Structure 1
Amino acid sequence: MEKKITFLKRFSSFKVVLIYAVVSAVYIFTSDYFLELFTHDAVLISKVQTVKGLIFIILTSLLIHELMRRNIVKITDYYQQIIDIKQQTEEQSKQSRQEYISLFNHSPLPMWIFDLETLRFLNVNEAACEHYGYSFDEFMTMNIKDIRPETEIPQMEALLTTAIQNADSSFLGLMKHRKKNGEMIQVKLKTSQVNFESRNGILVTAVDITQEINTQNKLLATNLRLQQACEIATMGYWTNDLATSEIIWSEEVYKLFELNPDTFELTLNNIRNCFHPDDQPKFDEEMQKVFESDAVIEGEHKIITGTGKIKWVLERIHLVRDQNHEPIKLEGIVLDITKKKQNEHEIIQSNERFKILAKATVEAIIDWDLENDSIFYGEGFNSMFGYTTMNADTDLWKKNIHAEDSKRVIKDLNKAIKDPGKEFFNSEYRFVKCNGNIAYIQHKGIFIRNDKGEVIRIIGAMVDLTESLEKMNTIEQQNKTLKDISWTQSHVVRAPLANLLGLINLLKENKKMGYTDERLIDYIGESATKLDHIIHEIVQKSSQKS
């Protein structure tokens, strides 16, 4: 603007001189020319020249006055414009400064300005005071090192060195700050150099992203746990965009199907061919059914992996619709249940063997599931006791224990169940058969407990001891008879037998001496008769007990 004013001044002066010179030259030459046309008298020409000179002076003075007036007006207008522009600029600058200060103070983000040389805070907005916990006056006594952890100061000093060397330098990045209460936060900083109150300063805007980083870390940890869970559960996720026909498999699905993601083309037909031929019709049926219902479609399938293995998978499919209820995407999970199916097959086989064993054994088997309150009765309950086991009452066993034994047996069983150290149960009691007869039972069982020591299952066997007890009673009775016979032989039989032996010896001695005593013969006859009577009693007793 100053250059323009100088140029205008010089141009105005040159313009006045130029106009004056041109007008003077034109006037002189034209006036002399016309004067010579009218007269050649020297005296007259001299007088006219004088008059002409005066007229010239008057005209040029008027001309110069007019030219100077116009130039002064123009210059004055230019000066006024300059003054107006300067005032307007100052007002705009003042307004901009006020707006800047207002935006600075009322910004929802923490902001401050610090001196580039002393590092002291020059200005701090309300958001910074509220977020960091310091008052404005406290900030004014601090420098920026006071809100930095010691480990961050070297990095800060390096950035300040760059800022001092380059006035246009700025910084955008992450830093750690410390609040008044000692809490460490992660902030995203943006800086720029400014002139504040004739000082070189740095304007800083800080955004606290601590919560965002913590949330991201939690999401990463959650995603990692989810991925680990999927790997542990051998479960994969897939989607099928119905608009673009784009199918996406997670890494776990490829592992489950033992396929290479770089070589396997994800098309519906190729995926269908991964299922066992016996299950492909079921696959088609479920894919059709998912479009007919908003419910999750679930099914178990056999698949043939890329290495030729046969696996069992559980698949759940869900149809996603848009706001207009139009189908837009299929999504689902695939879970490897091969081990589960193998275990189920083994359990089925084990149960079949158990049922066959229950039919073949002479014992009455009881399998009591306490968790589900269900009881399985073996075939022995029908063959031994006459009860129909099909749809049998769960209280069949309990309510047919003999009334005199029931309280004792149930009490002993409950006591054993509550004792975590007990593994077995053994009891003898009477059991009422379907026909009303009494059976003498020996009941042995084993407790299956969970990790808490609680009984979840009892497997027992009831053995009918009735026939065995009867045989034992018979044997005991026979033993008693034999004992009686033995006692009779040792005591009752031995007396007449001893008499006979003594009388016979006495008779032999008398015969050697030539002496005959008829009474000895009578005595021998009596003893023999008595012995014969005792032998008949023994034979009769033995016949009765057998």
Structure 2
Amino acid sequence: MEKKITILKRFSSFKIVLIYAAVSIIYIFLSDYILELFFNDFVLISKWQTLKGIIFIIVTSTLLHVLMKININKLSNYYRQIIDFKLVSEEQSKQSKQEYIALFNHSPLPMWIFDLETLRFLNVNEAACEHYGFSYEEFMAMTIREIRPEAEIPQMEALLTRAIQTSDASFLGLMKHRKKNGDVIQVKLKTSQVNFDRRIGILVSAVDITPEICIQNKLLAVNTRLQQACEIATMGYWTNDLKTGEIIWSVEMHKIFETNPDTFLLTMDNVKNRFHPEERQKLNTATFSNFELDAIIESEQRIITDSGKIKWILERIHLIRDESNIPIRLEGIAVDITKRKLHEQEIFESNERFKILAKATVEAIIDWDHINDTIFFGEGFNTMFGYEAGMADKNLWLKNIHSDDSERVIKDLKKAIKNSKKEFFNAEYRFIKANGDIAYIQHKGIFIRNNNGDVTRIISAMVDLTESLEKMNTIEQQNKTLKDISWTQSHVVRAPLANLLGLINLMKDNKKMGYTDDRLIDYIGESATKLDHIIHDIVKKSTQNGVY
């Protein structure tokens, strides 16, 4: 506006001069022409020339006055417009400043203004005071260095140096700040240069993104652990877009199928060809009707790698439908369970061998799964005790221990189970057969414990000692008889035998002397009779006790 007025001033002055000069020239030439036209007398013309000069001065003065007045009025109007414009501008500026201060103070984001030269805070809003923990007075006594961790100050100073050198204070990026309580937070800063109280200031707005970064870090850690878990579990993920036919495999899927991600073309035919022929037939006959709403179908299938290796996978498949209930995508996971299937096969074969052994052995086998409380009874319970093992309940053994032995045996068994160092169990008791007979049993078992020492399984065998005990009793009785016979031979038989020997020797001596004593023959007869009775008694005892 002032520039416009200056131009106007110059233009008006030049215009006045031009008008004044034009009027003067016209007046001079026109007046001279009229005087020469009407007057020939030189003296008279001279007098009119004087009058003409006076009239010229009056006319030009009047014209100059009029022109100056018109110009002054125009300038006055322009000055009045300038004053009004400045008043309006100042009022608008004052109102804008008040609105700006109100927006600044009531902004939900922490905001502040600092001096670019001294780095001292010039103004700070309520949100910054509340978030950082400093009061307004504390902020105003600080510089921006004091809300930075020491390690971040060099970076801040480098940015300020660049802002001063390039006259560009704008910045948008991440920084670390320090609260009053010492917590370090990650903030997103946006800065711009402003004039504040006739100083060059930097307006800063800060958004604390620490919670978002923490969540991102947690998600990253979870994803990392999930990836590691997938690798450890050999679990792959796949999707099949039913509209476009696009199939996507994770890296683990390629590892399971032993395919090269760079060369293996993911088509339905190529995928199906990797399955065992029997499983491939199932895939060809599968329909979407098998999928219930929000259901997951689980199956175990065999695949064949390019090297001819057969592997087992556990697959869980989920069908995704659109709003119209039309199938749009299949997604699923596959887990390599080859080791588990081989282990199950080994366990099955081991159990089969155990069952065959249980049938072949003369002992009654008991296999007690202590965790699931299930008991397997071997064929010996049928052959030895007359019980149908397959039809028996789990309490068959407990119910048929003789009542006089039951409490002792069960107490000893429970005590052995609780003792984590105990590996074996041994007991002798009486057991009631299906026909009511009593069998004398020797029961030996082994405890299988886990890492905590808890019993998980008990395998034991019952041996019927009844026949053996009877034989032992017979042998003991025979031994006793033999001992009696031996004692009889060494003591009872020896007496009449010694008498016989003595009498015979005596008869020999008498014969040499020519002397005969008939009483000796009677004595010999009596001793022989006694010896015969003793021998009969020995034979009788031997016969009665089965020695002979």
CA shift for structure 1 position 35 = 7.7
CA shift for structure 1 position 523 = 0.9
- Seen in structure 2, the aligned counterparts of structure 1 residues 187 and 138 have a Cα distance that, compared at 3 Å, is same
CA shift for structure 1 position 333 = 0.8
TM-score by length of 2: 0.93
SS class of match (1:435): coil
How big is each residue's C-alpha offset from its partner over 1:25-83, in whole Å with a ceiling of 9 and x where there is no partner?
5566667767877x567599889888877777666566555544443333233223322
CA distance in 1, matches of 2:300, 2:352: 23
SS class of match (1:278): helix
**Contact 2:449/2:456 (8 A) holds in 1:** yes
Which residue number in structure 2 is paired with residue 83 of structure 1? Answer: 83
Which residue number in structure 2 is paired with residue 311 of structure 1? Answer: 311
Identify which range, 346-355 or 28-37, moves more after superposition: 28-37
- Seen in structure 2, the aligned counterparts of structure 1 residues 56 and 322 have a Cα distance that, compared at 3 Å, is farther
Identify which range, 499-508 or 85-94, moves more after superposition: 85-94
Which residue number in structure 1 is paired with residue 453 of structure 2? Answer: 453
CA distance in 1, matches of 2:530, 2:137: 140
CA distance in 1, matches of 2:338, 2:301: 10
CA distance in 1, matches of 2:74, 2:240: 80
SS class of match (1:390): helix
Which residue number in structure 1 is paired with residue 248 of structure 2? Answer: 248
Which residue number in structure 1 is paired with residue 209 of structure 2? Answer: 209
SS class of match (2:493): helix
Identify which range, 309-318 or 154-163, moves more after superposition: 154-163
Which residue number in structure 2 is paired with residue 133 of structure 1? Answer: 133
CA shift for structure 1 position 117 = 2.3
**Contact 1:290/1:317 (8 A) holds in 2:** no
SS class of match (1:240): strand
CA distance in 1, matches of 2:503, 2:157: 143
Which residue number in structure 2 is paired with residue 503 of structure 1? Answer: 503
Which residue number in structure 2 is paired with residue 271 of structure 1? Answer: 271
- Seen in structure 2, the aligned counterparts of structure 1 residues 251 and 287 have a Cα distance that, compared at 3 Å, is farther
SS class of match (2:314): strand
* Counterpart residue type for residue 353 of structure 2: R
CA distance in 2, matches of 1:502, 1:133: 133
CA distance in 2, matches of 1:8, 1:157: 51
Which residue number in structure 1 is paired with residue 478 of structure 2? Answer: 478
CA RMSD of aligned residues (A): 2.4
**Contact 1:290/1:318 (8 A) holds in 2:** no
How big is each residue's C-alpha offset from its partner over 1:74-101, in whole Å with a ceiling of 9 and x where there is no partner?
3233223322322232223222222222
* Counterpart residue type for residue 10 of structure 1: R
- Is residue 287 of structure 2 the alignment partner of residue 281 of structure 1? no
Gaps of 5+ in 1: none
- Seen in structure 2, the aligned counterparts of structure 1 residues 241 and 61 have a Cα distance that, compared at 3 Å, is farther
- Aligned 1:17-416 pairs, distance under 5 A: 17-26=17-26, 63-286=63-286, 288-289=288-289, 291=291, 293-416=293-416
* Counterpart residue type for residue 540 of structure 1: K
CA distance in 1, matches of 2:52, 2:244: 103
Gaps of 5+ in 2: none
**Contact 2:441/2:464 (8 A) holds in 1:** yes
- Seen in structure 2, the aligned counterparts of structure 1 residues 242 and 58 have a Cα distance that, compared at 3 Å, is farther
SS class of match (1:259): coil
CA distance in 1, matches of 2:53, 2:268: 115
CA distance in 1, matches of 2:244, 2:72: 80
- Is residue 545 of structure 2 the alignment partner of residue 545 of structure 1? yes
SS class of match (1:239): strand
**Contact 2:311/2:338 (8 A) holds in 1:** yes
**Contact 1:286/1:297 (8 A) holds in 2:** no
**Contact 1:289/1:297 (8 A) holds in 2:** no
- Aligned 1:415-430 pairs, distance under 5 A: 415-430=415-430
CA shift for structure 1 position 205 = 2.0
TM-score by length of 1: 0.93
Identify which range, 326-335 or 464-473, moves more after superposition: 326-335
CA shift for structure 1 position 21 = 3.8
SS class of match (1:334): strand
CA distance in 1, matches of 2:396, 2:250: 54
How big is each residue's C-alpha offset from its partner over 1:443-487, in whole Å with a ceiling of 9 and x where there is no partner?
001111222222121111000111111111111111111112112
CA distance in 2, matches of 1:31, 1:326: 109
